[in-house]
Structures are given as C-alpha cells and as structure tokens.
Structure 1
C-alpha cells in the first residue's frame, strides 16, 4: 500500500511566486535563461544556474556547492521560506487549451519505490542516476516533483473539490498562458483522511521523473549506509505530484533519422514492405490515427505504414507499443540503430511539435526520414509496468509539467 505523507515545503511568499517559478532548467535555451536572469533577480534559475553570477560555465561538484549557496541566499533574503507545519499541497493547472489538472504534492516513500508499490515503465541510466544522487546530496533539496499517477479515486476527488472551493494561496499565470493555483492543506482530520485513502491504494505509477525517483532512492540507501544510525527521515521520501490517471495527457515522441544506413530510397521501401502495407500519400499531410499505423515522411512525400500483423507477434504488453514495434521492425534491423539512448543518428520530437515540424526538418536536409507515431495510452503504460517491462526511451511526452521553485522538498 502507498505511503504518502505531508511535508514542510520551502516556497516563495505569495507576492513573489510568479517571479520565482520557472520551467525546468533544461527546457530553456542559453539565450532564454540569460534573458530571464538579466531582468528577474527572483527567478529560481539563479539558484540552479549559479555560474551566471560569475559569467562562466561551472560544472560538477563546484556547481553543486554554488547551487547550495544560492539556495541559502534565497532563504536568507526570505525569497524562500519553510512552512512551520507539515502539509499536503493541492496544485491545479489550467492550460491555454482549457484542460485542468489537479493533484496533491506530497512526500512519496523510497521503500515503496524499492518494493514496486511505485512502478516504473522506463529504463534509467545508472550514470545519470548517480550524478543526480550526488547533486541532491550536496544541494540538500529537490525542486521538481516526480509525477505519479493512480487509478481514479472518488474519495480523493471529493476532498480536492472541497478544498478548491476555497481561496488559493497562489494564483498566477505564466507567459505560456497556463494558470497555476496552490492550496495548503494542514487541517489534521483532512490530512489523516488523505493519508488513509492512499494507504488503501495498492500501486502507484511513475508517469514522469524516472531518474529523479531512482536518484532519490539511491540517496536514501547511500545515507543509510553511511549515517551510523542517525539518518534523517526526510531522506526516505521524495517530492511527488499525484494525479488520477484520467488527467494524464500522453503525447507521442516521434523519430527522426539522419540517413538510410546506405540504402537508396527504393531499397529502403522494399525492406519496409516486409513489415508494412505501404501507401504513398504524396503531398497529403498524413499522420498516424490509430495504434500500429505509422506516418513516414521521406524525400518530400508522406507514406502511411500499416503493420502486417501476420509478420509480427504480440507476446507481451511491450510488443504492442508502437515505439517498440518501430524499433523492432525498422530502426534496428533496417537502419542499424541498436541503442536508442546513445546513437547520434536518431533524434526525437514530441507530439506537441506536430508532424509539420518533422516535415520541415527533413526538407531542410537535417534528417533523411521522419516517423510519426500514435500516442501510447495510460492502459499500455500501466500494463508494461505491471509486467516488469520498460518502454524504449522517448516513448511518451506527458503533461502536466509543473514549475520549479513553487514547492521545494528539503532534506
């Protein structure tokens, strides 16, 4: 059963939250980051990009130490303040399309991660896990919650609906035109109700944040092994944002390949014909509209590729995933792409960019061919995790995406 606890968040005061909150550090170009830091001294980017203060790139342990220093400075200046009481934080986002996401920011258990109560569907890189574990250990906080999901639960929904009728502590709109709300929940009876409800939920699933959760688990183990029995309980948990499955929005990750592995266009199409029924759509913009159908853009033309099911066997949940099918039938055997994480001949574009974006990159000559996939479903993600399998990298692009620096989990 899932153990989900309230915690004492470090967060900005109401009047500064819109200035502090930022997107994930990696989502900005260097120019965008510099622009935001040039004109906003409160941006959380100043903490995670401490080299800006010295006008140089800083990496490794030195960067971690400086991140810690900037974080402490924000606390000393009261730009960030820690709550005196452990709470749940109800976080709601309404995006520009009018879609609403509402969930609970809480502390999830590293023991639940270890014991498969919190299940994953994506592989992680051990080197990246270790790097982020060392980062967390030095800086002493985590500012980006792991996105966890659970089967829709009417009891939780009723509690959230009641809380959201009250005035939020935060309400701010970003330049992306998404509006963010946050309510603080410290009332003991309601806190106990939420904790008890989750205690009856047998399984949670990681929707986004596999490396963050794995690194938090490694940190917990590392501290246990080197603490002489004086380990702080906070290391046994990691900050998470829990929302019901019905509120997840899953987009596809499309594939772009730089060359045809020495094949001519005609030879490539003949090899594809073994696995797919192929139709040349010419200039008609075609995109995949159901599972096991693929769109391909090659040499100025669109093609529809329908999987020949007599050629391909579905032995488990992973075999039915379109990203896996494309790897098994095209990327590996025909284009000789063996490692989707390290091969520099393949790149990825998430579905919000659209198929016209794929076309533009191929037309520019940056890539030889592009593939558009049908999005995976929550049911597929859950089935793969339940069977102990993992998706290929970049199989899903999942929303909602939270802002960094709104709630911070301190060890």
Structure 2
C-alpha cells in the first residue's frame, strides 16, 4: 500500500456541512457539549461525544458507544451524510484571520504506522486509548481525523495551489471564527499526483490525535484477526488523516493545574520550588514570552519562574523542553506528580482558554496552583520524534483544531 491513499469518505451533503461539523470530542466537557448541541440536532458531537445523549451512563458504559453508532446511522438515514461513490482525496484549508493552514485529507497506511514511518511524540493514556478503541470498533468507523505533519514538499504545495483556485465543496465559518474550506480531488491525474508527491516522504509525524491513531491500529489488528476474508482493502487498513506541511502549523501553550501542594504549606512549596527556579513576585505578563520561563498562579497572585542555569544545558531533545523542566524539577519532586499520564491530581489546559481559565480553576478552590508554559516548536517536536523519544504528556496544543464530522472513514 502507498503511504497515502484516497478513500470513500462518508461526509455531509453540501447544505448540511456547517451544521454537522463540530469540535473534536476531547476539547469540550460534557456540559459544554450539551450547550453546543442544544440548538443544533445535527451536530456531530452526537456521534463523537455520545455520552451527552446517555445522561445516566457511567464512564465505561457500553450504551455510550452503541448510541454513537445509532446517531451516525441516523444522520445517514436522514440523508445528511452520504458516502463517496469512488475513493478521493480532499484539500482542507483552515483560516484564522490572515493565517491559514492547508492539508491533504487522505488514508494513511496503518502498516506504516505500525512500522514507525508515522512517528509519534507522545505516549497515550491507556484508559483514553481504550475508550477511543471501543468507539471506533462499535461504531465501525473512524469518526475524526488525525493531524499529521511532514517536511514541506514543493510538488504538494503546487498541487494545493492549483486545487484551491477552483470553487470549493464546503466553505463556512464556524462559531469560533475559524474558516473551513474543502475541495474534492477526484480527477485520476490529481489522485496520482498526491500519491506520487508523498511517495518520497520518509516520515510523517503525529501532531494531534495520538489516541485516535493508537486506537485505530488496535482495531485494525483485531479486525484482521477476525476477518478470514481480509482483502487488504478494508477501511480499517488506513488511518484517516489530514497532512499539513510543518511550516503552517502552530503550537500553543499547554498549561497545567495541580489540585494540592502535596502536603506542603505555600511557604514551604515556594522554598522548594525556588531551589531550581528563580521566583519573582507580581508577574503582570502571566504567560511567558521565551523558553525556560513560566508563569505560576498561587494564592490569588501570579509569579514569574525562570529555570536556574544548573538545570539547563542538557543536549537531550526531551530534557531541554520546558514541559520536561517543569515536570522533572517541580511537578515530580515537589508536588509528587510522578506520572502525569495517570495522576488525577493534575489537569491540562489548552492555551486557547487563556490565563483566565487558570485563575478560575485556582480561585474556585478545586486547584491549588497553576502553571503557564512557553510552547515548543514544531521543529522541536519533530526532533524528539526522529530521536525515537517522546515528550511529556500534553506537551503540544495545536490550533486551530480539525473539525469532526466533515469526513468519516467506514471500516468495512
């Protein structure tokens, strides 16, 4: 199988695209999702976050996944979603003000993912991976794309420019002000150009969607084992993805909040933290503007933290990251967060929510302290992945997010 292949997406008919399209399942709480769908019964959140329709369900309730399947079939039955007659690629452009990012929507070989040609930079949380695996397997579809990036290819740039010059299939602005435009690439010559354009690419990199990717690979293994007539052409052999050139992607800060001070008084905590970080009172900026600096909200006020020289200088691509410095020299040894993947005392807050969200969490009493971080670059992310290493959990927050509901990959 080629690295990228066209596929027969299940997608909204043109007039319903803006109503169906929804934020991904993991950026909203249940209450936020319920408010989002209140005035839009066609929202794809009914599929991606179907627990909003099973109010009495526990976290591990199979009814959540069954309801997702029912809701997807309902959209098909109403004629809202239709499947492509033949395999195609898509061009997907997102606009934020004057900035835009343009990617190719494609099926990417699961075999290449398993072989390491599609590289990751984060470990997954077992519970979240299992949850997404059950969703994909029960629904029989990959309902949201994985965001991948690659080192720029001029041939792909030229193709995207040509395609974007013609009228689109979808073109709308979502409620958050982000514009979304989609073109269909069905011409055999264009399909060949995409396949050939990506053929020389040595590696693709997961930017966003590690849990989706890992879950899809698990489902593929399960289905291959069960399917005696496996042809190699079934939808579970591919990972539905959007591939962006690395220069176009933007990483925002991914901040942290911790529920308690690990038995320390505020004074003792500041004393311990000050051994590895220079601490300044009254940090009006709240959010750092350079590497190795942090904001800290504690007791109703902001402080500025700067990593001391003795904890810097490691050539290891992971150890020098700000998320690593905070984890290895403060969150772990001082606050007792040994494994941020599984510790329920820590929460991660995307930078899109701003510093106000960190203040709200601490001022509300549910959290004792919050930290704002300077984001890593896409280049740093790729360096880590190429070294076969992983960043600490929740190191990268990409904006804008890929919408769910515009493309669905059926497994059979």
Bin the TM-score by the shorter chain: over 0.9
Cα contact 2:296–2:303 (8 A) shared by 1: yes
Q: Which residue of 1 aligns with 2:332?
A: 332
Answering whether residue 172 of structure 2 is matched by residue 180 of structure 1, we say no
Answering whether residue 256 of structure 2 is matched by residue 242 of structure 1, we say no
Cα contact 2:57–2:63 (8 A) shared by 1: no
Matches within 5 A, 1:86-105: 86-95=87-96, 97-105=97-105
Change (3 A) 1:193 1:370: same
Change (3 A) 1:278 1:159: same
Give the secondary-structure state (helix, strand or coil) at the position aligned to 2:148.
strand
Q: Distance in 1 between matches of 2:50 and 2:260?
A: 39
Answering whether residue 200 of structure 2 is matched by residue 200 of structure 1, we say yes
Q: Which residue of 1 aligns with 2:138?
A: 138
Q: Which residue of 2 aligns with 1:74?
A: 75
Cα contact 1:253–1:396 (8 A) shared by 2: yes
Answering whether residue 336 of structure 2 is matched by residue 342 of structure 1, we say no
Worse-matched range after superposition: 256-265 or 373-382: 256-265
Q: Which residue of 2 aligns with 1:225?
A: 225
Cα contact 1:313–1:319 (8 A) shared by 2: no
Deviations 1:239-278 (A, max 9, x none): 0000011111101111222322232333223222321233
Change (3 A) 1:348 1:49: closer
In structure 2, runs of 5+ residues without a counterpart are none
Q: Which residue of 1 aligns with 2:297?
A: 297
Give the secondary-structure state (helix, strand or coil) at the position aligned to 2:15.
coil
Give 1:29 deviation, angstroms: 4.3
Deviations 1:7-63 (A, max 9, x none): 111111111111111222344444444455443332223344567677754863333
Change (3 A) 1:273 1:383: same
Answering whether residue 369 of structure 2 is matched by residue 381 of structure 1, we say no
Give the secondary-structure state (helix, strand or coil) at the position aligned to 1:108.
strand
Q: Distance in 2 between matches of 1:7 and 1:164?
A: 20
Give 1:303 deviation, angstroms: 2.5
Worse-matched range after superposition: 124-133 or 108-117: 124-133
Give 1:318 deviation, angstroms: 0.5
Deviations 1:199-229 (A, max 9, x none): 1000100000001111111111112222224
Give the secondary-structure state (helix, strand or coil) at the position aligned to 1:310.
helix
Q: Which residue of 2 aligns with 1:191?
A: 191
Answering whether residue 160 of structure 2 is matched by residue 164 of structure 1, we say no
Q: Distance in 1 between matches of 2:114 and 2:106?
A: 18
Give the secondary-structure state (helix, strand or coil) at the position aligned to 1:175.
coil
Cα contact 2:150–2:204 (8 A) shared by 1: yes
Give the secondary-structure state (helix, strand or coil) at the position aligned to 1:81.
strand
Q: Distance in 1 between matches of 2:326 and 2:242?
A: 32
Aligned length: 409
Worse-matched range after superposition: 264-273 or 174-183: 264-273
